[in-house]
Homo-oligomer: A and B are copies of this chain.
Amino acid sequence: MKFGILVNEGPYNHQASDTAYQFCKAAIEKGHEIFRVFFYYDGVNNATRLGEPPSDDRNVTKNWAKLAEDHKVDLVVCVAAGLRRGIVEGNLAPGFRISGLGQLIEAGIQTDRLVTFGD
């Protein structure tokens, strides 16, 4: 089955991004496809490459980047929401790309299920 994922909140402050990540891992393990993960609202903050969480905690951004690398998952940051909050090409982490909201609507159309994680 083909999944689209919407992440509404940034890293650490809310569990949304962690749950979305665990969901994606489990879906891939079960043989499903993650068509796209779209980061909107404060969710764009997951894509900063400048974050350095304490070494004994998870690194949310790197978790996503590794998932993208290992399983060719398309990680898309909303350009308008990112610009508002200071997530731009200059501080974008590897594995993410910036594009328009249309990519989210497209994910809603092209996938079998769209799953939202938020506050």
A positions within 8 Å CB-CB of B = 10-13, 41-42, 45, 48-54, 61, 80, 83-88, 90-91
Contact = CB atoms under 8 A, between A and B. Distances in A.
B85 A48 contact: yes
Contact of A51 (B52, B54, B84): B84
Nearest to A11: B85
Q: Give the oligomeric copy count.
A: 2
Nearest to A80: B54
Contacts of A61: 86
A88 B50 contact: yes
A10 B48 contact: no
Contact of A52 (B12, B83, B91): B83
B85 A10 contact: yes
A45 B61 CA distance: 16
A104 B84 CA distance: 27
B11 A53 contact: no
Contacts of A83: 51-53
A42 B84 CA distance: 15
Nearest to A81: B12
Given A50-B90, A91-B50, A12 B85 contact: yes
